[in-house]
Amino acid sequence: MTVIKKIIPNLYLSTLIFCVGMFPLCINSQTTNFSVKYELGFNINPTASSGTVTFVMLKINSLTGEIVSKSNITEENFVMYAKGLLKNSANPERIDFFKEVGIDCGYILDVPILRGGMTYVDTLWEDMRPICLPVWDIWKLRYSIHPRYSKGASIVPDEDRGWSANRWRPSYAQTVYLQKYGVNQIQDYFHGPKIFELFKDMQNPDWIGMYRELN
């Protein structure tokens, strides 16, 4: 009888230890399921396989703010997702994020196609092109001259001149100022509601002048 009494508590203790040990796994699993959110974003860190600006859909841990994963999207899809023209994980309610902050960001179609003497306008999504000045101007935050120009370029039109204090990256003061939009360094991913605040500010000539003077 004494032996049985000793075995039962030992079994109970072992079961309890197992359950307590597994409890964090259960909590972590539930936390992962209920704390993930998706946000649109971009970064200005060109690589051999990307353009000057890379647009992304980010999966984020909403508790820590850590980027869990990312997938590249086109500039056109970035604008369409942000305008709510296409349902997506970052904008399931199809809100026009640009309109919410007072930015005019529209679309044009490709040049009409002439077929058999008849003119056609193709309205497929992939043939739409964004007219969105803040999106076009993103590169200006990092560069004083568009990077497609060589180092020794002597003639650069005004539209290809950026706002950065330096040729290839912003000054320290500019970098610190950009932290208000959610990044630590210029190569980080800008994402979430703060990018639309940035887009709005980028349309203000006074803001541009202020940013340029941060040396």
- CA 207 to chain CA centroid, nearest Å: 22
- C-alpha 173/C-alpha 50 separation (Å) is 27
User: What residue ranges do the domains of the chain occupy?
Assistant: 1-34, 35-212
pLDDT tens string 130-184: 678 899 999 999 999 999 998 888 899 999 999 999 999 999 999 999 999 999 9
Establish how many alpha carbons lie within 13 A of residue 137's alpha carbon, considering only the half-sphere containing its beta carbon: 20
Residues found in the chain: 215
| Other beta carbons less than 10 A from residue 176's beta carbon | 12
Q: Where are the alpha helices (DSSP H) in 61-204?
A: 75-83, 97-100, 133-136, 172-178, 193-202
- C-alpha 84/C-alpha 207 separation (Å) is 27
Q: 54-61 and 67-73: which strand pairing?
A: antiparallel
Percentage with pLDDT > 90 across the chain? 60
Q: Using an 8 Å Cβ cutoff, are 43 and 56 in contact?
A: yes
pTM of the model: 0.75
pLDDT tens string 181-199: 999 999 999 999 999 999 9
Q: Is the pLDDT of residue 17 over 70?
A: no
